[in-house]
Amino acid sequence: MIFALACFAAETGDTPRHAANGSLLFPSDYREWVFLSSGLGMTYGPAATPGTPRFDNVFVTRAAYKAFVDTGHWPDNTMFVLEIRNATSEGSINKGGHFQTGISAIEVEVKEKGKWTFYGFPKGEESEGKAFERTATCYACHGTNGAVDNTFVQFYPTLLPIAKAKGVLKAEK
């Protein structure tokens, strides 16, 4: 049984895997994780450019999602993917609004041994992503403004009520 569970974790990529140099191996099955939300025009930092607003789609590993629903906390091995996609309009039958197109960048956030680390996949197609330096803006903005433990639960509509019920929201986020 333990063996079967270990296999499941490896196949689904629910556990972060690293290269020998510490880079994160790209979790290529993230589209099979739990979808939390899409933001439009919320891109920031290096991924932000003027022009048509881009979408970002947020996914979290299934085991971490289940743990959060039960406890309001993110366990070790939690992984988030922020998938940033370009947007366009007036394609096919569409005359207004915006729909998503190709990937602009992918960013991943991992909790290991109680510590969060951010990794970048700037083209969204690399097989390994390097960790951002601890001085990168990611750490300060997330640590200060994320409503629950470094993460922006205030923007994930199915998780916000859970965080409120469990009493884990930081004040005024």
> Considering the complex, what minimum distance in angstroms separates the CB of residue 7 from ligand HEC?
27
> Considering the complex, what minimum distance in angstroms separates the CB of residue 167 from ligand HEC?
19
Residue with tokens 């998503």: 100
Long-range contacts of 95-104 (CB under 8 A, 24+ apart): 98/40, 98/52, 98/53, 98/55, 100/55, 100/57, 104/47, 104/54
Total residues contacting ligand HEC (rule CB under 6 A)?
23
Are 103 and 110 in contact by the 8 Å Cβ rule? The answer is no
> Residue 75, class by beta-carbon neighbours within 10 Å (0-12 exposed, 13-18 middle, 19+ buried)?
middle
Question: Which range binds ligand HEC by CB under 6 A, 1-9, 97-105, 138-146, 159-167?
Answer: 138-146
Closest by CA position to 98, among listed 65, 51, 164:
51
> Considering the complex, what minimum distance in angstroms separates the CB of residue 117 from ligand HEC?
9
Q: Which of 78, 80, 104, 129 binds ligand HEC (CB under 6 A)?
A: 80
Question: Which range binds ligand HEC by CB under 6 A, 8-16, 66-74, 85-93, 141-149?
Answer: 141-149
Give contact residues for ligand HEC (rule: CB under 6 A). 39, 42, 44-45, 56, 58, 80, 82, 107-109, 118, 120, 132, 136-138, 141-142, 146, 151-152, 155
